[in-house]
């Protein structure tokens, strides 16, 4: 490697670290400061490290609201992801394998789901009519609806790379259509299913605006909404706010670190085949 290339590489690395690591360092440092020090919002090290005190204060705040929020967010994420993965795989399979005159219309609907921003007020009206407003299962359905288009497109392109001969071999072996899907196709969708589960679960777990609109109420709080506990018009507790951010960021971060390879694998699968 030439010297010039080495220098460019090092500069790029330093820039990358500054760009990506600084916000995390800022969160970490602020989270362990005292309230007074944290209010300066600087990168200086704390005079006293208050990790445990701040951690317990955040957990205990508003009668252990963060723990309830973790529970609610987990229920919403697990429920929505289960529904989303199975239904998106089935829809992707049908539109990839059974071309019909409706396909153009179905694609238009899928693209509309990606491009047109959801209208909040009519959605709330619909949820109220269905008695799903302010309920966890209502929120689950909202998340499924919002994530469906993207997931269907991912599944569809992956299924295109699975040879049709496999479906036909299963039919010759006596499989009914649902058996072809569940016994032959679905097991082969593992890489893309992992990608969909990871990407969507992080999105749903981290969602701030949708629970804010569709899931009001103290008992329905989700993790991102607990950030409001430490911000108000006249005073903000920046150290606790950032400790809260730290706690809320950890689960998705762990998933990304462990499943990074799987995510990329699933995202690029089907890109060069079929």
Q: How many residues bind other proteins, per CB under 8 A? A: 16
By CB under 8 A, residue 104 contacts other proteins? no
- Within 182-201, the residues that bind other proteins by CB under 8 A are 183-184, 187-188
The residue (of 60 and 183) whose beta carbon lies closer to other proteins is 183
The DSSP symbol for 236 reads B
By CB under 8 A, residue 45 contacts other proteins? no
Nearest to 247 by CA among 72, 48, 63, 27: 27
| Residues 148/84, Cβ–Cβ less than 8 Å | yes
Closest approach of other proteins to the CB of residue 185, in Å:
10
Closest approach of other proteins to the CB of residue 181, in Å:
13
Which one of the spans 7-15, 109-117, 164-172, 259-267 is the region binding other proteins (CB under 8 A)?
Answer: 164-172
| Residues 77/201, Cβ–Cβ less than 8 Å | yes
Nearest to 198 by CA among 21, 93, 71, 77: 77
Among 109, 114, 166, 250, binds other proteins (CB under 8 A): 166
Nearest to 273 by CA among 187, 162, 193: 162
- C-alpha span between 77 and 139 (Å, rounded): 10
Nearest to 139 by CA among 199, 76, 188: 76
By CB under 8 A, residue 274 contacts other proteins? no
Q: How many CB atoms lie within 10 A of CB 133?
A: 18
Closest approach of other proteins to the CB of residue 107, in Å:
21
The residue (of 40 and 183) whose beta carbon lies closer to other proteins is 183
CA 197 → CA 81, 151, 201, distances in Å?
A: 6, 9, 6
By CB under 8 A, residue 169 contacts other proteins? yes
By CB under 8 A, residue 157 contacts other proteins? no
By CB under 8 A, residue 124 contacts other proteins? no
Which one of the spans 18-26, 162-170, 197-205, 255-263 is the region binding other proteins (CB under 8 A)?
Answer: 162-170
Name residues whose C-beta falls within 8 Å of residue 157's C-beta, 6 or more positions apart in sequence.
Answer: 269, 270, 271, 274
Nearest to 227 by CA among 27, 26, 47: 27
By CB under 8 A, residue 262 contacts other proteins? no
- C-alpha span between 75 and 63 (Å, rounded): 20
By CB under 8 A, residue 163 contacts other proteins? yes
By CB under 8 A, residue 106 contacts other proteins? no
Among 63, 165, 232, 233, binds other proteins (CB under 8 A): 165
By CB under 8 A, residue 98 contacts other proteins? no
Q: Which residues partner with 236 through β-bridges?
A: 231
The residue (of 184 and 212) whose beta carbon lies closer to other proteins is 184
By CB under 8 A, residue 170 contacts other proteins? yes
The residue (of 137 and 164) whose beta carbon lies closer to other proteins is 164
Binding residues for other proteins, per CB under 8 A? 163, 165-166, 168-175, 179, 183-184, 187-188
């Amino acid at each position: 490697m030439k010297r010039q290339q080495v220098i460019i590489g090092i500069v790029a690395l330093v820039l990358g670290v500054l760009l990506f690591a600084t916000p995390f360092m800022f969160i970490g440092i602020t989270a362990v400061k005292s309230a007074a020090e944290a209010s300066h919002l600087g990168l200086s090290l704390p005079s006293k490290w208050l990790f445990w005190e701040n951690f317990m204060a955040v957990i205990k705040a508003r009668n252990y609201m963060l723990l309830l929020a973790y529970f609610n967010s987990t229920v919403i994420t697990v429920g929505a992801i289960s529904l989303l993965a199975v239904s998106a795989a089935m829809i992707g399979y049908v539109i990839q394998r059974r071309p019909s005159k409706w396909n153009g219309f179905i694609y238009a609907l899928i693209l509309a789901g990606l491009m047109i921003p959801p209208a909040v007020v009519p959605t709330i009206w619909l949820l109220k009519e269905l008695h799903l407003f302010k309920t966890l299962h209502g929120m689950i359905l909202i998340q499924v609806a919002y994530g469906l288009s993207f997931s269907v497109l991912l599944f569809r392109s992956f299924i295109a790379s699975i040879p049709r001969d496999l479906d036909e071999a299963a039919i010759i072996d006596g499989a009914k259509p649902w058996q072809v899907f569940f016994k032959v196709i679905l097991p082969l969708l593992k890489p893309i299913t992992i990608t969909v589960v990871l990407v969507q679960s992080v999105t749903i777990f981290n969602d701030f605006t949708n629970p804010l609109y569709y899931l009001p109420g103290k008992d329905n709080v989700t993790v991102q909404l607990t950030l409001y506990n430490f911000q108000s018009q006249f005073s903000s507790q920046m150290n606790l706010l950032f400790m809260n951010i730290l706690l809320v960021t950890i689960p998705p971060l762990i998933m990304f670190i462990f499943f990074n390879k799987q995510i990329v694998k699933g995202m690029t699968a089907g890109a060069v085949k079929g």
